Amino acid sequence: MELLLDGQKTQRRFQTWLISVFSGIAPGLAALGIFAVMHYSVAARTNEIGIRMALGADSNDITRLMLGDSTQLAIAGIAAGAFAAIWSTKAISAMLYGVKPHDPWSYGVAAAVLFVVAILSSCAPAYRASRIDPMTALHER
């Protein structure tokens, strides 16, 4: 009997380990994706940023602009993800152990972690945008 129980526990342990590994990789992939999108956004808006700086915007204004854009996108993405998670609770409720399908703490912690990851991963492109030389940006076109 113990051998049968041990076999069932082994399968559950492997599944739990696999979910833990994928859950650990997910924020890293999210950060990489957000960094890439923000980097592309800064590259695409170089002329606009150069014009803003030529008209008097300082580096703090540009950083605030880029971080504001990424914050809006992060909030929209978190809202869409929360809606999808709530919608799919019936499908995943059988896999949850010790957590209710509509646990507000789980949703809140996940949203907070993703928001922090989004803001931190967009800081480097926002800093890069604030360091653009207006003359170089305007001469590129």
Q: What is the pLDDT of residues 72-129, one digit of tens each?
A: 999 999 999 999 988 888 777 776 666 677 778 888 998 999 999 999 999 999 999 9
Q: Given this model, what pLDDT does residue 141 score? A: 61
Q: Given this model, what pLDDT does residue 39 score? A: 92
Of residues 1 and 121, more confidence is placed in: 121
* Half-sphere exposure (Cβ direction) of 131: Cα atoms closer than 13 Å: 6
Distance CA(99)–CA(103), nearest Å, equals 7
Q: Residues 6-26: pLDDT tens digits?
A: 777 787 788 888 989 998 899
* Residue among 125, 108, 127 at smallest CA distance from 116: 108
Helix (H) or strand (E) holding 102: none
* Residue among 32, 126, 128 at smallest CA distance from 71: 126
Task: Round to the nearest angstrom and report the end-to-end CA distance of the chain.
Answer: 75
Q: Given this model, what pLDDT does residue 33 score? A: 92
For 82, phi then psi, to 5°, come to -65, -40
Average pLDDT of span 126-133: 90
Residue located via tokens 């653009």: 132
